[in-house]
Amino acid sequence: MSRIHFIPVGGIYEFGNQGYLYGVDDEWILVDAGSQFSSDDRTYHAYPDYSFVDALGEKLKALIITHNHEDHLGGITRFMTDHPHVPVYCTPFVEAHIGLKIAQQDLRLKLKRHPVSAVPQGQRQKIGTHFNMEFIAVNHSTPESSMIYMETPYGNVLHTGDWRYERNPVGKDRMNWKRLEEISAHGLTALVADSTGILNDTTEPLSELDVKKSLFHLFRQTDQKDKVLIATTFSTHTDRINSLCEIARHLGREPKFVGTGMQANSGVSKKCGFLHEKRIVADGWMNNPKSFYIATGCQAEENSAMDLFAQGAPLKRPTCILFSARVIPGEEEKVAAMKAVLRAKGYDLIENDATHLTHVSGHAPRVDTERLIQLMKPRIYIPIHGNEDHLKANVRLGRKLHVPCPVLLEKCGEQISFSKTSEPVSEQLYTPVKVVVHSKERSFEKRFFEKSAGKNRKRT
Ligand SMILES: [Zn+2]
Ligand SMILES: [Zn+2]
């Protein structure tokens, strides 16, 4: 029987390493080429096991990228190097980030002929003879994030990527509910859905505008003439960075970017028209009370701006550090330890807690996933992107909403085969073995702070 085949290559029962294969007859496409890193050890990088993908040879027709986050895009140059003839499709913003990665890794010469096509959201793209693909705009925590809609002869699939619904957007991106309605009206065979926010049971999701207003309030409260102000957030969160720049200007300060990721990613955001403020790179320690520093290191990543600041910065002035980010699961201890060092040094810390709103997640809470399922009415529901609790809770939600066939994936390498009319059938094709590599790369932050602090900087 003719069916669509779906195989998670990585990204379930783990954080990071997103990669999902879709196959129809002898044509396959891979969605996302993520990686996994350890904030304890910046030389550690892991990638999905591509042995099955490699064996597809010319049957692999494309790699499609949903958005610019490392767990979806971090393995792109490695993938391109190993698969020189597989075209990459992504939105223009993601294309610019791929260009940045290629340049940062000195791969321009090697990858200059690799086919990378920018496909704007809402435009159809034929891939092979069986796939008709379209990027659909959603909200997330980085610009131009997309769901992928795929039409095939044996049914159609909506792959959500990472998404949330932003009720009060502060940036350009708008979730395209209208297009989703049209797709639903044609009948959706399978919905393959992000599970990250499924345990969030709020009924009134906060918006990026709520965060912006709160940040305004918090910084206004703490602002003093001689005080150093620092905000740390994710370097790809352009909407948040725009809000912080606006607040800085409102306080009469110049926003300055600190850290490799912040400087490089904001450069791409500026080039693509998403960052409003001109990008000003900080020089020296973060200790000028006329500036407003926007820094990397909200997860206490080794050698990030905040980590090095905690290790070495001398306290010369009253300083407020605001964490505008969630703590990524698994990093709690490390972030807490860094915050303890910063507090011991006498800095004021503001973080997201019951009394201070400094962040909102980029992933749909349960109430919005519910809305998506009810709108799309898929026959088959396959939760992805989460650990065991997330995947199971998302399957339960599918059951509760009477999706005919909710599927709990067992592990990576499992194939789920289905069509417009057939039941999904599961088969474990192979057992992936994660690929771990150690890079010797020394971070820009490290070089920057070493230069700024001189050779005699003391570590505490
Ligand atoms: Zn993700
Ligand atoms: Zn993401």
Report the C-alpha gap between 162 and 433 in whole angstroms.
24
- The helix (run of H) or strand (run of E) holding residue 157 is strand 155-159
Q: How far is ligand 1, taken at its centre, from the CA of residue 33, in Å?
A: 11
Task: Encode pLDDT of 87-109 as tens digits.
Answer: 999 999 999 999 999 999 999 99
365 CA distance to ligand 2 middle (Å): 14
Cα(128) to ligand 2 centroid in Å equals 27
* Nearest ligand to the CA atom of 146: 2
Other Cβ atoms within 10 Å of 109 Cβ, number:
8
User: Any idea where the domains of the chain sit in the sequence?
Assistant: 4-202+362-429, 208-359+441-453
Rounded Cα–Cα distance for residues 370 and 354 (Å): 26
Q: Of the ranges 13-22, 302-311, 342-351, 400-409, which one carries the lowest mean pLDDT score?
A: 302-311
Q: How far is the CA of 72 from the centre of ligand 2 (A)?
A: 7
Q: For the residues 154-165, what does the mean pLDDT come to?
A: 98
Count helices and strands in the chain by DSSP H and E runs: 14, 23
State in Å: Cα 226 to ligand 1 middle.
40
Output the CA 27–ligand 1 centroid distance in Å.
25
d(CA 305, CA 231): 11
CA of 287 to the centre of ligand 2 (A): 32
Residue 148 reports pLDDT greater than 80: yes
Cα of 456 to ligand 2 centre, how many Å?
Answer: 40
Buried b / exposed e along 209-238 (16+ C-beta atoms within 10 A): bebbebbbebbeeebeeeebbbbbbbbbbb
Distance 455 CA to ligand 1 centre (A): 39
Q: Which ligand is nearest to the CA of 234?
A: 2
Indicate the SS3 state at residue 135. strand
Q: Which helix (H) or strand (E) holds 168?
A: none
User: Helix 238-250 to helix 260-271 angle, to the nearest 10 degrees?
Assistant: 90
428 C-alpha to ligand 1 centroid (Å): 24
The ligand whose atoms approach the alpha carbon of 16 most closely is 1
* Section 158-162 average pLDDT: 98
For residues 191-211, give the mean pLDDT: 97
How many angstroms does the Cα of residue 8 sit away from the middle of ligand 1? Answer: 14
Residue 45 is predicted with a pLDDT of 81
**194 or 458, which is more confident?**
194
DSSP state of 412: T
Give the per-residue pLDDT at 443. Answer: 46
Looking at residue 454, its pLDDT comes to 42
How many angstroms separate the alpha carbon of residue 385 from the centre of ligand 1?
7
**Across residues 227-234, what is the average pLDDT?**
96
- Closest listed ligand to the CA of 67: 2
pTM score: 0.93
Structure tokens at 442: 């020394």
- Taking the CA of 385 as reference, the closest ligand is 1
**Mean pLDDT in residue range 178-193:** 98
Ion ligand 2 residue ranges (Cβ < 5 Å): 69, 162
Ligand at shortest distance from the CA of 194 = 1
Backbone angles phi, psi at 324, to 5 degrees: -105, 65
Beta pairing, strands 319-323 & 19-24: unpaired
Of 298, 362, 304, 285, give the one whose Cα is nearest residue 336.
Answer: 298
The whole-number pLDDT of residue 459 equals 33
The alpha carbon torsion through 90, 33, 73, 27 (nearest 10 deg) reads 0
Q: Confidence class of residue 29 from pLDDT cuts 50, 70 and 90?
A: very high
pLDDT, one tens digit per residue, over 355-378 is 999 999 999 999 999 999 999 999
Each residue of 408-443: pLDDT tens digit?
Answer: 999 999 999 999 999 999 999 999 888 888 775 544
Q: Is 310 exposed, middle or buried (0-12, 13-18, 19+ CB in 10 A)?
A: buried
Compute, in angstroms, the gap from residue 331 CA to the centroid of ligand 2. Answer: 17
Give the CATH H-level superfamily of domain 208-359+441-453.
Metallo-hydrolase/oxidoreductase (3.40.50.10710)
The predicted model gives 391-401 an average pLDDT of 98
| Assigned fold of 4-202+362-429 | Metallo-beta-lactamase; Chain A (3.60.15)
User: How high is the mean pLDDT of the chain?
Assistant: 92
**What whole-number distance in Å separates Cα of residue 395 and Cα of residue 12?**
13
pLDDT at 303 over 90: no
pLDDT of residue 315: 67
Q: 346 C-alpha to center of ligand 2: Å? A: 34
Tokens in use for 365? 């809470």
Lowest mean pLDDT across 4-13, 31-40, 113-122: 31-40
Which ligand is closest to the CA of 72, given by its number? 1
Strand 116-118's sheet: what is its strand order?
116-118, 88-90, 60-64, 27-31, 19-24, 4-10, 414-418, 425-428
